[in-house]
Amino acid sequence: MKDSKEGKESLFQKVSSTQIWRSIFRTGGIPTTRRQRMMGVLNNVFLHLHPVRLPKHAVKVKYTWCMGGLSFFVFLILTITGILLMFYYRPTVEHAYMDMIDLGEQVPLGIMREIHRWGAHLMVITVWLHMFRVFLTGSYKPPREFNWAVGVILLTLTLLLSFTGYLLPWDQLAIWAITVGANMGRASPFLGYEGPGAALMQIGDVKLVHPGADASFILKAGRFVGEATLLRFYVLHCIGLPFIIMIFMAVHFWRVRKDGGISGPT
Amino acid sequence: MEIIKSFINYISRPTVLFTVVLATFFFVFPPNNWFMKVNRKLRIYKIWSNKGGIVIFSVLLAFFLFGGLTDHNFQLIIFKPDNVPIIGLIFGVTFFLWLGMKQALENDERIANNEPVDEYYDPEDKVLVWPDLIYVEFIALILCSVFLTIWGIVLKAPLEEPANLADSPNPSKAPWYFLGLQEMLVYYDPWLAGVVFPTLIIVGLMAIPYIDLNPKGSGYYSYAERKAEISIFMFGWLGMWVILIIIGTFLRGPNWNFFGPFQYWDSHLLPALTNVNLSEYVWVKWLEQGLPKNIIKREIFGFLLIGGYFAFLPPILTLTIFKKYFEKLGTARYSVFLVLVLSLAALPAKMYLRWLFNLKYLVAIPEYFFNI
Ligand code: HEM
């Protein structure tokens, strides 16, 4: 450290020269030289998602609006608060609603539900704005076409995550919003029993698509939004969709680097 | 006061709102040189300057303050907890739209003067991620966390009555980000509004980089170099999607009736069921006969009209305004482009058919759930 007096080591310098510290942080103390700073990024599994050096425009907020990074950060917040919520929430018709009330009234730091819910809204907004920024800077153009497509999948998954989570409070708002959404599945062409072409999905006299077997039924695990739907949405929301979105995020970040880093002129 | 309110109620009607948007949109986001010229002449581009930004922002703020402070009905909609994010969205989209367009126009000027764009730096002159990027990220993370924490403390997450399948609320609304789709249900049946259009939106978004062959404007903000692309995207995103969400969230009340921002949500108001199918128009009203028994014969005019939309419009467009694109894109890309553009235009088309003629379906075959 520059300001530590000659001959006298600061506390941080002492700590950062211990064997324990050096075993955890491969580059040692606060990096001051150019080389140390570069190694600091390269030698850290989280930081090394970044390149070591960037063109100047790429670190300006007015270029990226920070929206991709914030989308990811909000996703992390959602993961952490989501895990905390899972400690208390039981996805059954009997308990779900009461657990919601308890989350606000009995649990210490009872704003996890709020942060999780508003975070979910926020993530939808930041992902949209990120897409908007990428469009405006023309950053989907070659060689980044595929990463744009991956981004569209991420957007869809973000919406699905939000949608599946909407049911879990098991209040009027929840079941009716999901009912409206899931009922659209009934009208899927060929795959919904009220959809055009459903009558064609027939082998001999056996109907393949009917109220007990169609897109909407698969979504709801029943004819109505009920206990089975709650379980299905819970599993998708807490495990299925996060698992898939993380895979696509990994691809997305990896491609940002492989496509030549953040886009820029020339 | 009441006059201002009833004026705002009036212009928020989908009919008026969309007509205003349609009439002005392409002057604000000009897709070609002609519109660009008008835009220049009327100095519309000034809204993307600092002054313009302040004006837009003040108008928005004034609107919400005025409504929020003086009107009970307005308060009921905007303070509904799940609607709060949409107000954030309105301000956010406006701000970033302004920020992006401002930079784009500034760069356009630089390009016109043969100067390098703002984003351009000497490629040799790079900065280190540590600390230059890390600290920006760090500040962003802290601000974001603080923002969310305060939001979480100030605004309770909503929890209504326990779920009850026997008691459906009126209106029943999907989560806000799907309200654009629910709003489309007014004009199209669920198989289109809920399944086909969303699929087309996803596929269409993914197709953008493969259709847009313009090599310019990659990696920096610009408008003049990619007018048509930006204009079409903005039309779909702002002109349709965002506006439909706003209408669906704030302006649709019981029985999915329209209510202006300052109107009371009267649940006794029943929707007027005066919509008529094309087949009834032609066979019953004009030809003064009964509807034919044969389904194909009954719906033949609808099929012809839709067939014509997708069969005759393409060659006409190809020979006129889209000529340039056809030559540039080649058959395959151009066909995909046309299908997407025509599908996008199908939404306002049906809206106007509904508003002008009370048209319900162009093709109505409820026997097979095939209504368009
Ligand atoms: C969960 C959602 C998403 C996350 C976490 C995410 C994250 C990121 C991050 C961190 C970057 C680096 C640059 C920046 O911050 O702007 C980036 C770049 C990019 N993203 Fe996303 N993204 C998401 C969704 C999307 C969507 C919806 C699209 C487009 C439809 C998209 C397309 C792109 C493209 C093309 C780039 C490269 C941009 C450039 O080089 O300038 N992403 N993304």
Residue ranges of domains in chain B: 1-118+130-158+220-267
Residue whose structure tokens are 């919601």: A100
Q: Which residues contact B3 (CB under 8 A, 6 or more apart)?
A: none
In the predicted structure, residue B249 carries a pLDDT above the cut 70:
yes
Q: In whole angstroms, how far apart are CA B77 and each of A32, B8, B26, B69? A: 54, 15, 31, 13
Specify the pLDDT at position A6: 55
Quick check: B305 contacting A, CB < 8 Å?
no
In the predicted structure, residue B193 carries a pLDDT above the cut 70:
yes
Specify the pLDDT at position A7: 58
- State how far the Cα of A38 lies from the Cα of A249, in Å rounded to an integer: 25
Q: Is the Cβ pair B212, A173 closer than 8 Å?
A: no
Specify the pLDDT at position A229: 95
Specify the pLDDT at position A1: 45
DSSP string covering A33-45, please? SHHHHHHHHHT-T
Q: Is the Cβ pair A50, B133 closer than 8 Å?
A: yes
- State how far the Cα of A9 lies from the Cα of A14, in Å rounded to an integer: 6
How many residues does this entry show for chain B?
Answer: 372
Q: Is the Cβ pair B369, A115 closer than 8 Å?
A: no
Specify the pLDDT at position B64: 93
Contact B148/A77 with Cβ under 8 angstroms?
yes
Specify the pLDDT at position B138: 94
3-state secondary structure of A216: helix
Quick check: A255 contacting B, CB < 8 Å?
no
3-state secondary structure of B285: helix
- State how far the Cα of A217 lies from the Cα of A146, in Å rounded to an integer: 33
In CATH terms, the fold of domain A56-167+225-258 is Cytochrome Bc1 Complex; Chain C (1.20.810)
Contact A47/B134 with Cβ under 8 angstroms?
yes
DSSP string covering A78-132, please? HHHHHHHHHHH---STTTHHHHHHHHHHTSSSTTHHHHHHHHHHHHHHHHHHHHH
Specify the pLDDT at position B237: 93
Q: What ranges make up the beta strands (E) of chain B?
A: 126-128, 364-365, 370-371
Residue of B148, B173, B201, B214 to mutate when probing chain A, most A C-beta within 10 A: B148
- Could you report the per-residue pLDDT of B122-162, keeping only the tens digit for each? 888 888 888 889 999 999 999 999 999 999 999 999 999 99
Least Cα distance to B10 among B19, B202, A87 occurs for B19
Specify the pLDDT at position B275: 85
Query: B129 vs chain A: nearest CA distance in angstroms?
Result: 5
- The mean pLDDT value of chain B amounts to 91
Task: State if residue A260 touches ligand 1 by the CB under 6 angstroms criterion.
Answer: no
Q: Where are the domains of chain A?
A: 1-53, 56-167+225-258
Query: B162 vs chain A: nearest CA distance in angstroms?
Result: 4
Quick check: B104 contacting A, CB < 8 Å?
yes
Specify the pLDDT at position B280: 87
User: Predicted ipTM?
Assistant: 0.94
Residues of B in contact with A97 (CB under 8 A): 159, 162-163
Rg of chain A (C-alpha set) = 25
- Could you report the per-residue pLDDT of B203-222, keeping only the tens digit for each? 999 999 999 999 999 999 99
Q: What is the pLDDT along chain A (266 residues), one digit of tens a residue?
A: 445 455 577 888 888 888 888 888 887 777 888 888 888 888 888 888 888 889 999 999 999 999 999 999 999 999 999 999 999 999 999 999 999 999 988 887 789 999 999 999 999 999 999 999 999 999 999 999 999 999 999 999 999 999 999 999 999 999 999 998 888 888 888 888 888 888 888 888 888 888 888 888 988 888 889 999 999 999 999 999 999 999 999 999 999 999 999 999 97
Across the interface, of B88, B99, B233, the residue whose CB is closest to A135 is B233
Task: State if residue A233 touches ligand 1 by the CB under 6 angstroms criterion.
Answer: no
How many residues does this entry show for chain A?
Answer: 266
Pocket mutation for ligand 1, best pick of A159, A162, A252 (most atoms within 8 Å of C-beta): A252
- Could you report the per-residue pLDDT of B23-35, keeping only the tens digit for each? 999 999 999 999 9
Residue whose structure tokens are 């379980």: A231
Specify the pLDDT at position B131: 86
- Could you report the per-residue pLDDT of B96-124, keeping only the tens digit for each? 999 999 999 999 999 999 999 999 988 88
What's the one-letter identity of residue B274? T
- State how far the Cα of B54 lies from the Cα of B47, in Å rounded to an integer: 9
- Could you report the per-residue pLDDT of B53-92, keeping only the tens digit for each? 999 999 999 999 998 888 899 999 988 888 999 999 999 9
